[in-house]
Amino acid sequence: MAEATMGESQAMDAVQLEKAARQVDYARIRRIGSYHFAMAMGALTIWGAAATWAQVTGWAIAQFAAVGGALVAGMILPSIIHEWGHFAGARLSGAQSPALEKPRNHYFMFDFAMDQNDARQFIWMSWGGILAPWVLVVGAWVFVPWALTSGLVLIATLMSRAVAVTVFEAPIAQAVSQGGDPGTELGRQIKDGALSRAGLVGNVSGWLIFAALWVVL
């Protein structure tokens, strides 16, 4: 009887610990979500205010501010949604992915333990981050005013970031799906300079997209 009571007590303690861990995790997610929401709204507000200023006054300095705001928003927004895409993919796959107490470098928000998760979970996590910026691109094409120069800059910048993420991360996810080790494939890509190449491809594609939109419109 005493052994049964002790076992029940240990089981209850385990349940309570798991419940407490979930509560801490949810609190961290809410905290990071609030931080990222404030960042996103701040970037959009700065661009929107500058774009309105440029439209109302027609001043060159206002146009410069609007374009600068579009560039900033075009870099901040994809970085945020990219990390939330990774996080969503990890959680949907059931991966061990505890939220951090606070985001690292403003964006990195959870820990994906390579030694505790399998290749399938890594692939889900990877593709979540790859696809999320493209959702933002689609939204921008629908809702951002094409008549504004800064609007075209924002669309082109969002697309350049989405291209860069895809160029860098898709080959890693593909290699892992074919049997590669996640950590090894990630390290190989970084060692081979793929991160810099992806950034270059993204930047060039952004300029080309902006030029094409400028000519067409």
How does pLDDT run across 125-183, given as a tens digit for each residue?
999 999 999 999 999 999 999 999 999 999 999 999 999 999 999 999 999 999 999 99
How does pLDDT run across 71-90, given as a tens digit for each residue?
999 999 999 999 999 999 99
pTM: 0.91
Q: What contacts 87, CB < 8 A, 6 or more positions away?
A: 97, 99, 109, 110, 128
* pLDDT surpasses 60 at 3: no
Enumerate the domain spans of the chain: 2-216
Confidence of residue 10 (pLDDT cuts 50, 70, 90): low
What is the reported pLDDT for 205? 96
What is the reported pLDDT for 6? 54
Average pLDDT score over residue span 94-107 = 94
Specify the 3-state DSSP secondary structure of 97.
coil
Q: For residues 74 and 153, is the Cβ–Cβ distance under 8 A?
A: yes
CA dist 37 and 110 (Å) reads: 17
Range with lowest mean pLDDT among 15-19, 50-54, 66-70, 101-105? 15-19
% pLDDT > 70, the chain: 94
